[in-house]
């Protein structure tokens, strides 16, 4: 009897722990936003930009899979930091139908803006179903531009001596990094916005040196302790989340995403990143 009781109690305890963890992963961690602060050393950074802040927001995924009021509330928290620059690195919606356009417009009324500039690129979800609906991408671009967010589509802008290049999405219809980097200037400080980090392994970089800011992976959204995430939407499974030294004077940073593909996270909190620009030694 004692053995049976022990087994029963053990099973009940395991079930209870599983339920608590499941509830946490569903209702708590998906909304437990972390602001990650780190230095961004850049070669040739103009003196006037030293100490300026650049905020990265990625993968909002506005839609019907979770309450997007959370995104609005997160924006209000982010605005307190008063960033000098803000970059959005794709996947603004989880597209199902045109309802997402109105939802995104509602969220963008509260968008975080930089004091100097606010820039964006598109992600795969911004191209609608099967990443092939150009009209969806055009509408999302229009909504972003109307909200005061400039969308870079395989092009570069000069922000007070800092070159920021924006790639269109790797899986979308208009991916063309060679065009984006055709006027790359290695005497300037350089950042590339590139939604999918798998692009880092392509032979398209033309000796680029600087930082690459990506999203797309969400850090896997679920990560067992001491193990890699079991599910990642990238070919190179090294590209999970955080900072990666790519050896050839490129530094990759993968944001864990503000939103979610599905409302489930465990050991991978949502993130907004705040970089402080510095001169590279």
Within-domain flag for 90: yes
Residue 6 has what pLDDT?
47
| Measured CA distances, 41 to 27, 52, 185, 211 (Å) | 37, 11, 17, 9
pLDDT category at 21 given cuts 50, 70, 90 is confident
Domain housing 46: 32-279
Within-domain flag for 15: no
Query: For the chain, percent helix, then strand, then coil, each to nearest 5?
Result: 30, 25, 45
Residue given tokens 């820039």 in the structure block:
119
DSSP code of residue 169: P
CB atoms within 10 A of CB 19: 10
Q: Is 90 exceeded by the pLDDT of residue 13?
A: no
| Residues whose CB falls within 8 Å of the CB of residue 249, separated by 6 or more in sequence, listed in order | 43, 209, 210
Within-domain flag for 178: yes
Q: What is the pLDDT of residues 124-174, one digit of tens each?
A: 999 999 999 999 999 999 999 999 999 999 999 999 999 999 999 999 999
pLDDT category at 236 given cuts 50, 70, 90 is very high
What 3-state DSSP class applies to 16?
helix
> Nearest 5 degrees, angle CA 152-CA 173-CA 57?
40
Phi-psi region for residue 261, left (φ > 0), alpha (ψ -120 to 50) or beta? Answer: alpha
Q: How many structural domains does the chain have?
A: 1
Residue 281 has what pLDDT?
81
pLDDT category at 18 given cuts 50, 70, 90 is low
111: enclosing H helix or E strand = none
More confident residue, 272 or 18: 272
Within-domain flag for 7: no
CB atoms within 10 A of CB 34: 10
Within-domain flag for 155: yes
Q: Is 70 exceeded by the pLDDT of residue 16?
A: no
Q: Is 70 exceeded by the pLDDT of residue 19?
A: no
Q: Is 90 exceeded by the pLDDT of residue 245?
A: yes
Tell me the C-alpha distance between 232 and 46, whole Å. 37
CATH number of the domain at 69, please: 3.60.21.10
Least confident piece of the model among 22-26, 28-32, 33-37, 118-122: 22-26
Residue 30 has what pLDDT?
98
Q: What is the pLDDT of residues 176-216, one digit of tens each?
A: 999 999 999 999 999 999 999 999 999 999 899 999 999 99
Within-domain flag for 266: yes
Q: Give the torsion through C-alpha atoms of 114, 128, 213, 53, to 10 deg.
A: 10
Q: What is the pLDDT of residues 79-137, one digit of tens each?
A: 999 999 999 999 999 999 999 999 999 999 999 999 999 999 999 999 999 999 999 99
State both tokens at 1: 């009897």
Within-domain flag for 147: yes
CB atoms within 10 A of CB 103: 18
Within-domain flag for 242: yes
Residue 256 has what pLDDT?
98
Residue 22 has what pLDDT?
79
> Is the separation of the CB atoms in 234 and 196 below 8 Å?
yes
Q: Are strands 117-121 and 155-159 parallel, antiparallel or unpaired?
A: unpaired
């Amino acid at each position: 009897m004692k053995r049976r009781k022990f087994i029963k109690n053990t099973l009940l305890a395991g079930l209870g722990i599983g339920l608590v963890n499941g509830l946490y992963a569903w209702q708590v961690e998906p909304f437990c936003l972390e602001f990650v602060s780190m230095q961004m050393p850049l070669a040739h950074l103009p003196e006037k930009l030293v100490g300026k802040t650049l905020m990265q927001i990625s993968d909002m995924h506005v839609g019907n899979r979770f309450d997007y009021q959370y995104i609005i509330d997160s924006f209000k928290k982010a605005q307190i930091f008063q960033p000098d620059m803000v970059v959005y690195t794709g996947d603004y919606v989880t597209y199902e139908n045109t309802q997402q356009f109105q939802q995104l417009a509602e969220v963008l009324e509260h968008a975080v803006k930089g004091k100097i500039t606010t820039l964006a690129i598109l992600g795969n979800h911004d191209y609608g179903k099967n990443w092939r609906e150009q009209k969806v991408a055009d509408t999302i671009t229009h909504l972003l531009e109307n909200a005061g967010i400039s969308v870079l589509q395989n092009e570069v802008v000069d922000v007070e001596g800092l070159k920021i290049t924006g790639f269109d999405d790797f899986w979308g219809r208009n991916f063309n990094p060679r065009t984006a980097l055709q006027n790359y200037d290695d005497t300037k400080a350089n950042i590339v916005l590139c939604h999918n980090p798998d692009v880092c392994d392509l032979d398209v970089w033309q000796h680029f040196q600087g930082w690459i800011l990506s999203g797309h992976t969400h850090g896997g959204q679920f990560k067992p302790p001491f193990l890699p995430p079991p599910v990642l939407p990238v070919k190179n499974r090294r590209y999970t989340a955080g900072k990666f030294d790519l050896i050839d004077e490129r530094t990759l940073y993968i944001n864990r995403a503000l939103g979610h593909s599905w409302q489930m996270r465990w050991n991978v909190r949502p993130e907004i990143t705040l970089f402080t620009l510095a001169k590279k030694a």
